[in-house]
Amino acid sequence: MLSNRISVFLIILLFFPAPGWGFVRLLENSTGARPLSLGNAYVGLSDDGAGLFTNSAGLAGLNKLNLTSLYSQLNADVALASFGAVLPGVWGGVVSFGYRNQSQSNYPISNEVTTAFTQDLLASYSRFFKQNLAWGINLRLVSTGLSKDISGFEYLNGSGYALDLGLKHFNRPGLQTGLSIKNLIGGFSFRDGKSDVLPMMVAAGGALKILGENGLKRYQNHSVLASLDLSKSADEKQYLFHLGVEWEPMEILALRFGVDQSPKGGQAYNDLTFGVGLKYAGITFDYAQKHQADPNTFQTVTQYFSLGYVGVKEKKPASPEAAAVLMITPAAVPSAEGAGLADVKLVKFKDVPKNHWARAEIELLATAGLLRGYPNRTFQPNKKLTRREFETMVSSARQLPPTLVPEPDKLVSRREAFRRLDLTGQLDRPNDPLTRAEAAIFFSKTSFGEAAIKRLPPLEP
């Protein structure tokens, strides 16, 4: 498979990174308080705006506006700040922008005192190119220097560009893996005419939901997630591990712990991290604290603060029956009578490609409000329907209250669904379980399905 070949290629890069020495460190730790509190183990997770600075491929799974920021006073004179915006639904994917800056005031140069800075501007694009496999690319404009020109120190001022590449695989619900290459191509030049290459940095990681929705187990409303990264920079000899655990005892509160290995002098130090996250009405506040293990570090404890926006999450149903209703009840799509001749945008799903055999029926019925996908913009056309789900789908489409179904967890057969919808004609594989894609075909052949499609106003592609 294509995704497997790409993964093997990037893993080879991880263990055999390209040579090169780049002394300009491009703010690789300016990610966000949440990633920092997880020990920077974020390449496989990357599920909010902070992924812009870690693995932009993860942004392809977002369907709401995301905003992210970071601030830290590294010491009395050094401050770090960043912000980013993620805009889904642009050019068939997700477009993002970001800015990072680290400045040091009271910087002595010759007989003067000035401010030294390192900053970059980011523009990113990400999208799915295979089912459950996404890519992202970052273009960064980087610069470093002094706030004012000082004769004889032009070599401290420079600028350049870098290109980052990321991949993320949504392996299955609750498990995600990612790969990231920073500074894949690019260069840096100084005012004195000298130039340098930027060190390539490769990282691979994964995130696993242990407790909670789509997790290995369920325990009340608790959610526990673990993430692990392995990274290598071309200008460092050692491989670095990053480990993080996030525990959400309730929806508005998250507690995080991590181990972030950092290099210095050919050694790897295990820096301990922890943090707290608060979320209300889509607004997030995250705090992280990092304890430096290097005894020679000027400041052993660093604090980070992030303020962001992730959108309001849809409320979770309280029971399996309610879950079935949420999944397949009609969406709030205006009909022709209610909208006049106003255009309605065609509903599309990222796991239903253009060449899918049931694409037209799925998209039209979803636009008409008879079918509905999942919160992550997928339809899961190959998922087999239970009798409970199919009955709720039929009742919703006909605007009738759902009825009790014997053996609700048993899969419904194609013959049973055909009979339940009062369809006539030839039916092949009658005893096979019905999938969601086949249900769309069946619904499009019913009188109420045909009527709903006919009522649609002009559609925007």
Looking at the structure, do residues 217 and 352 belong to the same domain, yes or no? Answer: no
Mean pLDDT value of segment 28-32: 77
- Could you give phi then psi for residue 388, rounded to 5 degrees? -65, -45
Query: Taking CA 23 as the corner, what is the angle to CA 18 and CA 28, rounded to the nearest 5 degrees?
Result: 80
Mean pLDDT of 343-361: 86
Average pLDDT for residues 350-364, to the nearest whole number?
A: 89
| Residue 25 confidence class, pLDDT cut points 50, 70, 90 | low
pLDDT at residue 402 tops 80: no
pLDDT band, very low/low/confident/very high, at 435 (cuts 50, 70, 90): very high
Residue 39 maps to which CATH number?
Answer: 2.40.160.40
- Give yes or no: residues 198 and 127 share one domain: yes
- In this structure, the answer to whether residues 362 and 237 fall within a common structural domain is no
Residues 393 and 296 in one domain: no
In a domain, 362, yes or no: yes
Mean pLDDT, residues 373-392: 86
Predicted TM-score of the model (pTM): 0.66
326 belongs to a structural domain: yes
Burial 93-123 (b: 16+ CB within 10 A, else e): bbbbebebbbbbeebeeeeeebebbbbbebe
Range of the domain at 346: 320-460
Judged against a pLDDT cut of 50, whether residue 341 lies above it is answered with no
Query: Which pairing describes strands 78-90 and 459-460: parallel, antiparallel, or unpaired?
Result: unpaired
For residues 368-382, one letter each, b for 16 or more C-beta atoms within 10 angstroms of the residue's C-beta and e for the rest, the string is bbbbbbeeebbbbbe
Span 423-450, average pLDDT: 86
> Which of the listed residues 290, 309, 328 is the one where a domain comes to its end?
309
Spatial neighbors of 302 by CB under 8 A, at least 6 apart, are: 72, 74, 289, 290, 292
* 185-224 tens-digit pLDDT: 988 898 888 888 888 899 999 999 999 877 888 888 899 9
Contact 302, 290 (CB under 8 A): yes
Domain assignment present for 315? no
What 3 state SS string does the chain have? CHHHHHHHHHHHHHHCCCCCCCCCCCCCCCCCHHHHHCCCCCCCCCCCHHHHHCCHHHHHHCCCCEEEEEEEECCCCEEEEEEEEEEEEECCEEEEEEEEEEEEEEEEECCEEEEEEEEEEEEEEEEEEECCEEEEEEEEEEEEEECCCCCCCHHHCEEEEEEEEEEEEEEECCEEEEEEEEEEEEEEEECCCCEECCCCEEEEEEEEEEECCCCCECCCCCEEEEEEEEEEECCCCCCEEEEEEEEEEECCEEEEEEEEEEEECCEEEEEEEEEEEEEECCEEEEEEEEECCCCCCCCCEEEEEEEEECCCCCCCCCCHHHHHHHHHCCCCCCCHHHHCCCCEECCCCCCCCCCCCCHHHHHHHHHHCCCCCCCCCCCCCCCECEHHHHHHHHHHHCCCCCCCCCCCCCECEHHHHHHHCCCCCCCCCCCCECEHHHHHHHHHCCHHHHHHHHCCCCEEC
pLDDT band at 401 (very low <50, low <70, confident <90, very high): low
Q: Is residue 22 in a domain? A: yes
Which pLDDT value is given to residue 148? 82
Claim to verify: residue 324 and residue 304 sit in the same structural domain: no
pLDDT of 326 higher than 50: no
Residue 96 lies in a domain: yes
Same domain, 6 and 147: yes
Give the residue carrying structure tokens 């000035």.
114
Same domain for 291 and 337, yes or no, is no
What local confidence, expressed as pLDDT, does residue 404 receive?
65
Residue 363: both structure tokens together = 């998209």
- 132 and 45 housed in the same domain: yes
Average pLDDT, the chain: 82
Query: Averaged over 434-457, what is the pLDDT?
Result: 87
Residue type at 337?
Answer: E
* The last residue of a domain, from among 309, 338, 354: 309
pLDDT tens sequence across 142-199: 998 888 878 778 788 889 999 999 999 987 778 899 999 999 998 889 888 888 888 8
Q: Are residues 69 and 139 in the same domain?
A: yes
pLDDT above 90: residue 447: no
Residues 172 and 232 grouped into a single domain: yes
| Mean pLDDT (whole number) for 384-407 | 77
Token representation of residue 443: 């619904």
Give the Cα-Cα-Cα angle 27, 33, 36 (nearest 5 degrees).
65
pLDDT of residue 45: 94
Residues pairing with 69 in the sheet: 83
**Count of domains for the chain:** 2
User: What is the distance between the alpha carbons of residues 393 and 379, in angstroms, rounded to a whole number?
Assistant: 14
Extract the tokens encoding 152: 């004889």
Confidence of residue 26 (pLDDT cuts 50, 70, 90): low
How far apart (Å, rounded) are the C-alpha atoms in residues 138 and 150?
33
314 occurs within a structural domain? no
Is the CB of residue 385 less than 8 Å from the CB of residue 434? yes
| pLDDT tens string 231-275 | 998 878 889 999 999 999 998 999 999 999 988 777 888 999 999
Tens-place pLDDT, residues 38-60: 999 999 999 999 999 999 999 98
Average pLDDT over residues 275-299: 89
pLDDT digits (tens, 9 = 90+) for 68-115: 999 998 888 889 999 999 998 888 889 999 999 999 888 888 788 888
What mean pLDDT comes out for the span 388-397? 81
**pLDDT at 377 > cutoff 90:** no
Q: Do 394 and 437 share a structural domain? A: yes
Domain boundary among 267, 284, 309: 309
Q: Give the pLDDT mean for 279-298.
A: 88
Whether 97 is in a domain gets the answer: yes
pLDDT of residue 338 exceeding 50, the answer is: no
User: In this structure, is residue 173 part of a structural domain?
Assistant: yes
Q: Please indicate, yes or no, whether residues 112 and 228 belong to a single structural domain of this protein.
A: yes
Per-residue pLDDT at 395:
79
